[in-house]
Amino acid sequence: ILSKVGNLEQITLHHAPSNQQVQVVLFGATVTSWKKNQVERFFLSQEADFSGQKPIRGGIPLCFPQFGPYGPLAQHGFARISYWHLKQMGTTQDRSANGLILSLSNQDLNSALISSWPFLFTAEYQIILGFDGLETHFRVRNDGEEPFSFTFAFHNYFDVSDVSSCQIFGLENIPYCDRRKNDEWSEGEENLSGFQMMEPVDRIYSSTPDELAIFDSSKLQIIKIKKYHLPDSTLWNPFGIQGSDPGWKRFLCLEPGAIKSPIHLKPGEEWQGSQLIQSE
């Protein structure tokens, strides 16, 4: 189903047998909503901008080809502020899943972006709704004659009842880069699952396990993330500091990515990073 939100085109995908629905805005290839059993699982800011002038705050913005401010591009790169094309959409023959593929290439970029990131590439973003949950697959191919490098993250904004009543599983004892302390590296914390967020957190954990989870003790909801070829994970909540989104209590960002060590692609090479999100 194709519809409009603000100035932007969006697609709604359903998977009736598992009672799931996902909404994807072509601008930024941003997943803005995922409902299972009619319950929303992603946070979308009340201030989310649908003019096509700014990244959409909420859901799953894509950070590519640069995570954060670390590189020649504006924060988190151009994927989240580019107009993607619908390449394919439909259910599998046995109706066990419904999905779509969006694409973006260097031809879709303006000249300022091309001069900051002068590489020939094709990116494809596949979103699949099925009995297992929501799968997102991000692929990049080097179509040029020069090698290039990039960093990447799925900037997941999960909807939580209160960020202070969430437990995080999978990041115990893992060293992290503390973006709030001049990117200083800290030793991991032993008991992160008992950890209650009481202050701003902005961390990049390196070499994290491929299964992570958030338990929301008020909603009694668990979100599980399985990730593939994405070694790192960002954990973020601004906790009301100046400039925080007014809805900051209601989200927790847990973002699988390839951040610490950039991915290098030689001419003709392709890379894929994926996640499967399940919620009970």
Q: Which residues bind ligand TA6 (CB under 6 A)?
A: 55, 68, 75-76, 155, 179, 202, 234, 236, 253, 255
By beta-carbon proximity to ligand TA6, the closer residue of 128 and 177 is 177
By beta-carbon proximity to ligand TA6, the closer residue of 75 and 196 is 75
CA separation for the pair 202, 253 (Å, rounded) = 9
By beta-carbon proximity to ligand TA6, the closer residue of 123 and 235 is 235
CA separation for the pair 265, 150 (Å, rounded) = 9
* 155 a catalytic residue: yes
Write down the least CB distance from residue 257 to ligand TA6, Å: 9
By beta-carbon proximity to ligand TA6, the closer residue of 230 and 265 is 230
Q: Which of 69, 66, 11, 102 is nearest to 258 (CA)?
A: 66
Write down the least CB distance from residue 112 to ligand TA6, Å: 18
By beta-carbon proximity to ligand TA6, the closer residue of 135 and 255 is 255
Extract the tokens encoding 200: 């701003």
Q: Which of 260, 117, 244 is nearest to 177 (CA)?
A: 260
Write down the least CB distance from residue 14 to ligand TA6, Å: 28
Write down the least CB distance from residue 98 to ligand TA6, Å: 29
Write down the least CB distance from residue 19 to ligand TA6, Å: 30
DSSP state letter for 52: S
Write down the least CB distance from residue 171 to ligand TA6, Å: 14
Residue at shortest CB range from ligand TA6: 236
Q: Which of 199, 268, 273 is nearest to 235 (CA)?
A: 199
CA separation for the pair 203, 220 (Å, rounded) = 25
Q: What is the chain's Cα-based Rg?
A: 18
SS (H, E, C) 182-222: CCEEECCCCCHHHCCCCCCEEEEECCCCCEEEEEECCCCEE
CA separation for the pair 159, 41 (Å, rounded) = 5
By beta-carbon proximity to ligand TA6, the closer residue of 20 and 156 is 156
* Secondary structure of residue 106 in the 3-state scheme: helix
* Secondary structure of residue 112 in the 3-state scheme: helix
Contacts of 243 (CB under 8 A, 6+ apart): none
CA 269 to chain centre: 23
Catalytic choice (255, 264, 269, 280): 255
CA separation for the pair 71, 82 (Å, rounded) = 18
Catalytic choice (155, 190, 264, 269): 155
Query: Catalytic positions, please?
Result: 155, 255
